[in-house]
Structure 1
């Protein structure tokens, strides 16, 4: 009865958990993004340009398969392969399973430990120097079971489980962050490759045009109306264009190899055919800054690790209190096999054991200070991670706005360069100007064409980076949120 009373008291006390209860560190991220109401954003909209983002209040929020916004079937196929074959994602998944196993091990502390043992021994005694030479031999057989349980009097086990649950949630957020990072890297690499393909086609057309110009210049030289210097200038221009085309071939091969590794394949077994894709910058729904604390995986991971560090303070504080262990043992013990399982051979024991560390040289105090310092470090890391996320969103918002307006201006410059090139070539064919003037205008036109493609690449990359900075539509509760938003009308990027 006394043992049962002690057990009941232990169960009543097990609801007490020492240590601070967790509260998420306060963070003030503001009511809106700085760029959401800027004059620059208004100017871009007034110019009729797709700004690349809109407030989420007027559209559905992002969803997990955010790459569908770009309406590129090849990109969607690559994303499917990435999610199933990327080795970084596989590593993060294994680490998440490891966190699951650790939590299961922590929860095992709530339950009693049951064990069994069986033994058989034969022993003897004798006096070698005695005249009689008598000796005795005996057998011993035993079978026993043991049940032991440590009530969670001070919450050590419950705080350990709390830390394990927070660690598991952080591991899930890490997995989502890794997946989002790999998806973002793949999308940016893919669009870089597509822009590189467009540049290669541009340079192929340029090489053809320069080849025709060289042939025309040679004909004019043969007719005595062009100088040898014009031929050399045209030849140098042609070879420079060929060299730039070769450099793009190298760049494309490297991008293709990078995609192969992202898909968990060797570069030798992967190739991506060249296609013309009508790329356009999608409209990305941007939610309030406070949503970053709930939707961005790395911010959630940092917050959950703060909760984990808080729970470990309770574990360290519980070490100052005594441990109570309830143990029960019973079985059979006999010297004869035939009487092994009989009632007279049975034995049992039941009782609590209380243990308290009196002196440890300050080890527990040091562990407690370490746990509190770890919490402070994690709280600071959480706040820094949230501020970094806020800065990244602001950066990509202004980048999309500026690039959209810049693309409009660059479009006017490109149209003027093309018209200037047409007029200059007509003047050269009419013999009104020398070839050096043509070369200068052709160089300007080529640079304008490549600058336009660079802006296409910049806007596509900024769109992907903004989506990743917003959390990629990841929802720790439901996984995705809402349908894909419909694109608004506006200036579109040229086909790649």
Structure 2
């Protein structure tokens, strides 16, 4: 009973408990589902099917600079965690060839070292006589007894930071996978828009030729030629602008992959991208498996352990020190055992009393920082849920928009065909023709943009669910 009471008294810090954010029951994050929930999130190699994209992702996960930096952070915290595992062990210092020679004069209160001068048959001088002479080799052992769990909390803190860096690296990887895929599909969108702009430019150029022929036949005015030519130049100007955007996007992809000489390779067409029906109903407890959420929780664990360290630092500290070795007046007597042996033993309890409020400040600040970490954890959970819901809404609404845009393109293409036939038959004006062509260009560009937006929304949903690190 006494031992149990003593152990309870020594436990001055609280173990970590996951906070309850008072979320609606539909959005609870039950621990029992942590393992099973991840089975539904495929790896990026299974989620993405495009071979070019998979090669880009392979390169990014090998050479990306942000990911390399995250790996270095893991290696740093790994060293700190290894060091924390040995905190229970004593500090051992080996002092070799420790030479001490002290000289004094006649006004000093003591006398010369008689052994030194007697052995040499000399008389000690009045001033600057040898007072002390030591030639020593010693081993010192200093051991702190962990009464209040301070070392235990330091180990917990180091371990939590170590695991946090693992999750931070996963978070960097999920963001990287999403960014590379997003950039790739944006590049495909620009390719398709360039094809649309080039095709529309040739169509308008043919229309200009017809209008010029009609002008030569005095069937239309010079204004018709000028307005038609203006539409041709408008379509032509779009081509170099899109080529510029393609080059910029390719450079961005090279930066993401960590290989500035990378050849992006042959790209798929947006029309070849299959529909994604993977996520129709999303259990929001998936959010707990997001790397950023887990990293925030590990940070909270570390902050909770830091409170324990700060609190234990204010309590009495029990330490034991032992020093032993050989000490002689002359080096030749080092191994004159037992005559040269020495030993010291110290043990004591130190209670901090007044340190200019430093210890109390550290303790109070650590509690506030723990509260901040809990807020950050809550923000990560709520932010993850919001991102999932927003991505779901985007996927559903963009799917509807895409259906409408496809119909709009079909109508615009029919309008261009009809306008060309009517213009040839003299039943439509040049204004109707160029209007139909302008509408077709806008609708096809919009369709390509919506396809890319829908793919981006799917990618963001995949990332929001924590996909991309496996």
Specify if TM > 0.5. yes
Instruction: Give the alignment of 1:69-218 within 5 angstroms.
Output: 69-119=47-97, 121=99, 123=101, 134-135=124-125, 140-218=134-212
Query: CA–CA distance in 2 between the matches of 1:241 and 1:126?
Result: 100
Shift of 1:290: 1.7
Query: CA–CA distance in 1 between the matches of 2:46 and 2:100?
Result: 77
Shift of 1:171: 1.2
Q: Are residues 344 and 287 of structure 1, via their aligned partners in 2, closer, same or farther at CA, if it must alter by over 3 Å? A: farther
Shift of 1:284: 3.2
* Equivalent residue number for residue 4 of structure 1: none
Query: CA–CA distance in 2 between the matches of 1:380 and 1:336?
Result: 66
* Equivalent residue number for residue 382 of structure 2: 387
Query: CA–CA distance in 1 between the matches of 2:263 and 2:105?
Result: 88
* Equivalent residue number for residue 284 of structure 2: 289
Partner-residue secondary structure (3-state), 1:284: coil
- CA-to-partner distance for each residue in 1:78-125, whole Å, 9 max, x for gaps? 000001111111111111211222222333321111111123547586
- CA-to-partner distance for each residue in 1:280-323, whole Å, 9 max, x for gaps? 34233464212211x10111111111111111111111022111
Shift of 1:17: 3.6
* Equivalent residue number for residue 30 of structure 2: none
Shift of 1:31: 5.4
Query: Is residue 199–residue 450 contact of structure 1 (8 Å, CA) maintained in 2?
Result: yes
User: May I ask how many residue pairs the two structures share in their alignment?
Assistant: 436
Partner-residue secondary structure (3-state), 1:99: helix
Which moved further from structure 2: 354-363 or 432-441? 354-363
- CA-to-partner distance for each residue in 1:320-348, whole Å, 9 max, x for gaps? 21111111211111123343112121111
Query: CA–CA distance in 2 between the matches of 1:274 and 1:241?
Result: 26
Q: Are residues 456 and 222 of structure 1, via their aligned partners in 2, closer, same or farther at CA, if it must alter by over 3 Å? A: same
Query: CA–CA distance in 2 between the matches of 1:21 and 1:124?
Result: 54
Query: CA–CA distance in 1 between the matches of 2:79 and 2:100?
Result: 43
Query: CA–CA distance in 2 between the matches of 1:167 and 1:329?
Result: 36
Q: Does 1:315 align with 2:309?
A: yes
Partner-residue secondary structure (3-state), 2:40: coil
Partner-residue secondary structure (3-state), 1:147: strand
Q: Does 1:221 align with 2:215?
A: yes
Shift of 1:272: 2.7
Query: CA–CA distance in 1 between the matches of 2:26 and 2:398?
Result: 22
Query: CA–CA distance in 1 between the matches of 2:228 and 2:278?
Result: 46
Query: CA–CA distance in 2 between the matches of 1:394 and 1:280?
Result: 23
- CA-to-partner distance for each residue in 1:349-388, whole Å, 9 max, x for gaps? 2231221112223322222211111111111111111111
* Equivalent residue number for residue 272 of structure 1: 264
Partner-residue secondary structure (3-state), 1:110: coil
Shift of 1:134: 4.9
Q: Does 1:447 align with 2:442?
A: yes
* Normalised TM-score (structure 1): 0.82
Shift of 1:226: 3.0
Which moved further from structure 2: 346-355 or 248-257? 346-355
Query: CA–CA distance in 1 between the matches of 2:25 and 2:320?
Result: 55
Query: CA–CA distance in 1 between the matches of 2:318 and 2:105?
Result: 47
Which of 43, 51, 67 is the matching residue for 1:64?
Answer: 43
Query: Is residue 296–residue 471 contact of structure 1 (8 Å, CA) maintained in 2?
Result: yes
Q: Does 1:402 align with 2:397?
A: yes
- CA-to-partner distance for each residue in 1:31-60, whole Å, 9 max, x for gaps? 558xxxxxxxxxxxxxxxxxxxxxxx9996
- CA-to-partner distance for each residue in 1:230-279, whole Å, 9 max, x for gaps? 2212211110001111111111111111111112233xx34434534312
* Equivalent residue number for residue 454 of structure 2: 459
Q: Does 1:344 align with 2:322?
A: no
Instruction: Give the alignment of 1:249-264 within 5 angstroms.
Output: 249-264=243-258
Q: Does 1:27 align with 2:21?
A: yes
Q: Are residues 262 and 203 of structure 1, via their aligned partners in 2, closer, same or farther at CA, if it must alter by over 3 Å? A: same
- CA-to-partner distance for each residue in 1:60-79, whole Å, 9 max, x for gaps? 611232x5423110000000
* Normalised TM-score (structure 2): 0.86
User: Any stretches of 5+ residues in structure 2 without a counterpart?
Assistant: 28-35, 108-121
Query: CA–CA distance in 2 between the matches of 1:373 and 1:124?
Result: 52
The structure with higher relative contact order (CA 8 Å, sep 6+) is 1
User: Any stretches of 5+ residues in structure 1 without a counterpart?
Assistant: 1-8, 34-56, 475-479, 481-496
The root-mean-square deviation of aligned C-alpha atoms, in Å, is 2.7
Query: CA–CA distance in 2 between the matches of 1:59 and 1:441?
Result: 50
Query: CA–CA distance in 2 between the matches of 1:300 and 1:58?
Result: 14
* Equivalent residue number for residue 118 of structure 2: none
- CA-to-partner distance for each residue in 1:122-143, whole Å, 9 max, x for gaps? 75869799xx985466863211
Shift of 1:414: 1.6
